[in-house]
Structure 1
Amino acid sequence: MDRQQISRLAHADHPIAAPLDDEAVRRLLARGVPRGDARVLDLGCGGGEWLLRALAGHPRLTAEGVDISGTSLARAHEEADRLGVRDRLVLHRQDAARFAAPHRFDLVLCVGSTHAFGGLLATLEAAREHLAPGGRVLVGDGFWEREPSADAVEMLGDFADLPTTLDRVVADGWTPVGGHVSSRRELDDYEWAWTGSLASWALDHPDDPDSAQALGAATTHRDQWLRVYRDVLGFLCLVLRPTDD
């Protein structure tokens, strides 16, 4: 069972692959989409959840998504067919960090996929290259709520605290025009859905050769979350505009 399969199973019972509830997603998209006929790009789109919501809410909006997972993109296509928006959605199977388009976008998203670019500021630098004048970026990444352990840093990366994260973003030439800090309920709901979906699938498919691996992944992730980083890791989404725009 590869990483994409594990991710697909793990996110089966959560509305989006990030610790955000439906209302938070709605408000962030409302702040991020500048107008009804916007062109939107998601770098690391997974199953296209953000794009599908934007398309469903704006009949003239067009969207493109980039991801390396063929399984996730196929799922996005299926859901786009179901919603009747596939004619306005283009998906690219490739490394998001290498993606190039002949046009710019009014909203560029990268939520939970900043690792593909090497971190938050590198992600914003890449997003800027795709951004049309007057456009916005919606980015989501972790931050330390308190001093992390060495194990947490090794496991998740070298984040900063919330004030330092914002200071770095502003110093890099961005102005926040919206944002959301995930609540403890959102964070816990997301992690329980992640581990619960994997465990449920494993128990429902005891004869599947991947069952033991799925159950092991759920157990390992749950233990890491509860014992290593639950009390120190937060999640932040920002809607940004270039300061000099």
Structure 2
Amino acid sequence: MNREQISRIAHTRHPIKAPLDDTSVQRLLDSGVARDQARLVDLGCGTAEWLLRALAAHPGARAEGVDVSPEALEQASAAARARGLQDRLVLHQQAAADFTAPHPFDLILSVGSTHAFGGLLPTLDAAAAQLAPGGRVLIGDGFWEREPTPEAVEMLGNYADLATTLDKITAAGWTPVLGHVSTRRELDDYEWALWGTLADWALDHPDDADSAQALETAAERRSEWLGTYRESFGFLTLVLRRTAG
């Protein structure tokens, strides 16, 4: 069982691949899609759930999704057809950092995928190059709510605290117009959903060749969450506008 298969099963009950509930997602999208005919792009879209929800809520919008995973894009395409949104969604299989379009975008999304650009600020630099005048960026990334252990840093990355993260963003020429710090309930619900769903699948498919691996992976990831980073990791999602050029 590879990483793609694990992720697909684990996210069955939580298709947004970030610790946000449905109300938070929609509030952020409604702030990001600031005009009826908006053009959107998600850089590192995965299964394109953010874009599909934006298109469903804003019938005049059009969207493009970029991801390296053919499996995720196939799932995104199937979901778009099932929801009747396929005519307003274009998907590109390529590295997000290599993507350029012949037109600017009114909303650029990158939630949980800043690693594709080498971090938060490089992601914002890439977004700025393709942002329409007056456009917005919807970006989500981790931060440390409390001093992390060395094991947590090694596992998740070298994040800053919340205040330092915002200082870096504003110093780079961006102004937050909406922000959301994931609550403890959202963070916990996300982890329980992922590893509970994966364990459920394993127990429902005892004769599958991947069942034992799935159950073991669920237990390991749950243990890592509870024992290594639950008390220190936070997640921040922002809608940003350019303050300066």
Task: Report the TM-score, using the length of structure 2 for normalisation.
Answer: 0.98
Note the alpha carbon deviations across 1:146-187, whole angstroms, 9 max, x for none.
100000000000000000000000001100011100000000
Deviates more, 1:98-107 or 1:187-196: 98-107
| 1:70-219 matches, cutoff 5 A | 70-219=70-219
After TM superposition, give the deviation of residue 103 of structure 1 in Å.
1.1
Distance 2:169 2:208 in 1: 46
Three-state SS of the structure 2 residue aligned to 1:18 is coil
Three-state SS of the structure 2 residue aligned to 1:176 is strand
Letter in 2 for 1:117: F
User: Is the Cα–Cα contact under 8 Å of residues 43 and 96 in structure 1 kept in the other structure?
Assistant: yes
Q: How many residues align?
A: 245
Distance 1:15 1:115 in 2: 20
Q: Percent identity?
A: 67
User: Is the Cα–Cα contact under 8 Å of residues 15 and 22 in structure 1 kept in the other structure?
Assistant: no
After TM superposition, give the deviation of residue 71 of structure 1 in Å.
1.4
Note the alpha carbon deviations across 1:58-103, whole angstroms, 9 max, x for none.
1111000011111111111111111111001000111111111111
Three-state SS of the structure 1 residue aligned to 2:178 is strand
| 1:47-58 matches, cutoff 5 A | 47-58=47-58
Distance 1:15 1:209 in 2: 25
Where has structure 1 moved over 4 Å in runs of 4 or more? Answer: none
After TM superposition, give the deviation of residue 15 of structure 1 in Å.
4.0
Distance 2:147 2:115 in 1: 21
Distance 1:210 1:96 in 2: 31
Q: Aligned Cα RMSD in Å?
A: 0.9
Distance 2:118 2:39 in 1: 25
Which blocks of at least 5 consecutive residues in structure 1 are unaligned? none
Note the alpha carbon deviations across 1:30-84, whole angstroms, 9 max, x for none.
1111111100000111111110011111111100001111111111111111111
Distance 1:113 1:57 in 2: 23
Note the alpha carbon deviations across 1:199-224, whole angstroms, 9 max, x for none.
11111112222212211211111010
Distance 1:163 1:98 in 2: 31
Which blocks of at least 5 consecutive residues in structure 2 are unaligned? none
Match of 2:46 in 1: 46
Letter in 1 for 2:65: G
Distance 2:213 2:95 in 1: 26
After TM superposition, give the deviation of residue 198 of structure 1 in Å.
0.8
